[in-house]
């Protein structure tokens, strides 16, 4: 395509794609927690088993039975169905019994750090875009200035 021959524009496209990848990223606490702590926190959690990682919207349960909550047809839902774990509809989410999983660790989502990382990546991306635009404007030729190859 003609538009991607301009290396600055190509760089900009990569930067935007990279920013979107980080925007969807979640950061989890390194310290593992128990199932009861995960239930009490009511936060998004990452459950690591022997050979798989699952992301749940939350954990619910009582009397020693715990259920992970996921949206239908997301990646965790598909992995659990493929593994033979039976789920049932619970409002707009599905709940899967976690007893059948060989849980190694559970990590709660770190909401403040996830938010800070998202904002920081967005600001850095915006700054780089502004530098590219300013460089082209100051150069005057539209050839790309410092970013030309």
Closest CA to 36 of 69, 59, 70: 59
pLDDT in tens, 94-109: 999 998 899 999 999 9
CA distances from 58 to 86, 92, 106, 114 (A): 17, 13, 11, 17
CA distances from 74 to 22, 65, 71, 80, 107 (A): 19, 23, 6, 10, 19
pLDDT in tens, 134-148: 776 676 555 554 555
The pTM score is 0.71
Average pLDDT of the chain is: 82
pLDDT greater at residue 113 or residue 138: 113
What is the end-to-end Cα distance of the chain in Å, rounded?
Answer: 18
Instruction: State CA 35 to chain mean position distance.
Output: 22
Name the pairing type of β-strands 53-56 and 65-70.
unpaired
Q: 57: pLDDT confidence band, cut at 50, 70 and 90? A: very high
Q: Please give the sequence-ordered ranges of beta strands (E in DSSP) within the chain, or none if there are none.
A: 45-49, 53-56, 58-62, 65-70, 87-90, 93-97, 103-108
Residue with tokens 């050979």: 51
pLDDT, mean of residues 114-118? 84
């Amino acid at each position: 395509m003609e538009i991607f021959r301009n290396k600055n524009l190509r760089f900009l496209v990569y930067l935007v794609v990279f920013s979107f990848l980080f925007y969807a990223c979640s950061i989890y606490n390194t310290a593992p927690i128990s199932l009861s702590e995960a239930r009490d926190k009511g936060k998004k959690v990452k459950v690591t088993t022997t050979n798989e990682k699952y992301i749940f919207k939350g954990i619910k349960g009582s009397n020693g039975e715990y259920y992970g909550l996921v949206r239908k047809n997301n990646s965790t839902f598909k992995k659990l169905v493929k593994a033979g774990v039976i789920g049932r509809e619970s409002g707009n989410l599905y709940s899967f019994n976690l007893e059948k999983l060989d849980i190694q660790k559970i990590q709660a989502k770190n909401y403040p750090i996830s938010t800070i990382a998202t904002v920081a990546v967005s600001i850095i991306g915006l700054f780089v875009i502004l530098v590219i635009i300013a460089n082209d404007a100051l150069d005057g030729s539209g050839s790309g200035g410092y970013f030309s190859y």
